[in-house]
Structure 1
């Protein structure tokens, strides 16, 4: 095959080449059934085995913490912005949110449509170039939950540690850094993530929650938007995104082969260090706008001295086979998304290109 692109897309993003090749090999005839997995019934034994494998494999990677259930849903993390308060924000309670950037802001806006919502911390004052300080956050007894966005894809910030919320459920939107590093699932009441960055292709959204939070949803919300509908039916109430779930299972096998979360985290930190060192040692030619203590190991944002030079960087990088390095339209600049499946070799190629570009344009 032709040389694969250096894929730094923010999402949908790179998938492991080994996973793509495995899927290709069994695309037409899955497990000698004479059918693709996309053609078979979701009520059949073969698909249900894949479905249950993906659930158990995900929980295993997260430490097999007891009392949690995996849901495979549709609608992306954006649907979870509304589904979460619909299910967990009851009358007389308040939903607390941390505003850390673009995706947290979207979640807050949706929650305000559902019920009483309070922003308890924000880094808007410094244009979201850091994770808000939560050391002095006070949560009232009426708090239904505290919501955080673990990694802001657009700004390039990431929590280095999560707050202890005691008996108040901590909720995490982990769409852009789930399975990228080790963390304690026990700290959370519920986490959710669109798959298309670290888990698989778009089409499936993963929710992992304490069972007591999702086993008794309000009866006055639509059936498909109740967590307990999917909890009580093992995410098979209606036709699931079968191929996406299958691909998630294959990606999870690949994560196991990399040494689980411990192994993946070591690789990811090496990748991030390589590019951040190139930025920091450029003598100001490249500038990382995010405060060092809040830097993401998934989405590395950086700037050059002018927009004209940034455009030239994009043009020349594309000629060399690099894809997805243009920053989000809302903030501009440059961004390298180095999710789990982006190889170290691609990051090394980017660091080398950045050094070469500085020599020719500095």
Structure 2
């Protein structure tokens, strides 16, 4: 079976070289005669791999020494609750910026553990643009400010890091981490589900300023406490060894390509090509997002006549273009252009779009 061009929003495409190496090493990893999934996480081989994986991520993002790197389980959604549990005390408040579906979920899950102040929201604009920074009603006494730099469903992205003063900035970067260089020192905490730009689902990568590890004061299970995870090198319990290993291979791939400056340029070229095709279609295809807030990673679009949606999806899949159906909340189409999606895939998609227009009028 030949490989298709995979535009899935997540779990998403992985680099073929990563998959091929994992395939080669599946039965005999690192000369051990067994799979990485069959090895003790306390063993020398795995501990060395885990340390190298962290080192490679630190190189990619130039992570300062005063930040801990954690490899956790449970998905980013679990962190919606764990973050206020760890960063806010009883009675504390936290500021949240509502820019779309995942921001809304973060707000909902945090509410039992912290007094949530929705400091700004794009909901009144149907999340077609980001709330202007001068409209944010931030509380200088907040425990932290949480935002979602990229919304996978609505297709909006912050193209800069907001200044929130001295309050720790917390970011759910599940869908745009490693898509370009990042000044980690501007953040108190960064977290990301792995299944878009890092590796398979089931793993969460977290980068947290070490002083924040001491904030938790409320009772909670040890496994939920970030300080405990950091003290135990993310191995308080048996970790997701397969996900950790594949993340390491992905970090090696990114470093071999030349790092995140190179990746940022690749991602810019892909997004510009697709947006140019949409905008140049004389209304046949439409993306309603304010151009200043358009996502590089997730590009939703509609056809001028929704009656053509079924044909578009059927014919695109037959052409080897996978997972273009839009989220059920918005309908239409969505192309996710994560790091592992090459320019050739977008070229194939845009060629198909032009041909579909010619055939269907």
Normalising TM by the smaller chain, what interval? Answer: over 0.9
Comparing 241-250 and 28-37, the one that deviates more: 28-37
Indicate the SS of the match to 1:106: helix
Q: Which residue of 1 aligns with 2:262?
A: 263
TM-score, normalised via structure 1 length: 0.98
Q: What residue is the counterpart of 2:96 in the other structure?
A: 97
C-alpha contact (below 8 Å) 1:78/1:107 kept by paired residues:
yes
The corresponding residue for 1:120 is: 119
Partner SS state of residue 63, structure 2: coil
Shift, 1:132, TM fit: 1.6
Q: How far off is 1:217 after superposition?
A: 2.7
Any conservation in 1 of the 2:97–2:103 contact (CA below 8 Å)? Answer: yes
* CA RMSD across the alignment: 1.1
| Partner deviation per Cα, 1:169-215 (whole Å, 9 max, x = no partner) | 00000000000012211110000000000000111101101011114
Hey, what does 2:307 align to over in structure 1? 308
Instruction: Assess if the C-alpha contact under 8 Å between 1:92 and 1:142 holds in 2.
Output: no
Q: Structure 1 residue 308: deviation in Å?
A: 1.2
CA contact (8 A) 1:218 1:226 kept: no
Q: In structure 1, what is the equivalent of residue 343 of structure 2?
A: 344
Aligned to 2:107: 108
Residue 250 of structure 1 corresponds to 249
- Matched with 1:68 is 67
Give the structure 1 partner of residue 139 of structure 2: 140
1:210 has 2:196 as partner: no
Cα deviation, residue 136, structure 1? 4.0
Instruction: For residues 61-116 of structure 1, give each alpha carbon's deviation from its aligned partner in whole angstroms, at most 9, with x where no partner exists.
Output: 11132201110110000000000001111134211000000000000001111121
Structure 1 residue 276 and structure 2 residue 281: aligned? no
CA contact (8 A) 1:94 1:116 kept: yes
Aligned equivalents of 1:183, 1:249: Cα separation in 2:
19
Q: Distance in 1 between matches of 2:135 and 2:41?
A: 48
- d(CA) in 2 for partners of 1:85 and 1:233? 21
The aligned counterpart of 1:192 is 191
Structure 1 position 138, deviation (Å): 3.8
- SS of aligned partner of 2:286: coil
TM-score with structure 2 setting the length: 0.98
* Paired residues for 1:7-46 under 5 Å: 7-46=6-45
Higher deviation after alignment, 4-13 or 56-65: 56-65
Does structure 2 retain, via aligned residues, the 8 Å contact 1:230–1:237?
Answer: yes
Give the total of aligned pairs. 361
The CA deviation string for residues 232-281 of structure 1, in whole angstroms up to 9 with x for no partner, is 10101110000100000000000112211100000011011111100010
Alignment gaps of 5+ in structure 2: none
Tell me the equivalent position of 2:219. 220
Q: Displacement, 1:216?
A: 4.9
Contact 1:147 1:170 in 2 (8 A): yes
Q: CA deviation at 1:218?
A: 2.6
Gaps of 5+ in 1: none
CA distance change for structure 1 residues 219 and 93 in 2, over 3 Å: closer, same or farther? closer
Q: What SS is found at the alignment partner of 1:98?
A: strand
1:86 aligns with 2:107: no
- For residues 92 and 141 of structure 1, the distance between their equivalents in structure 2, rounded to whole angstroms, comes to 15
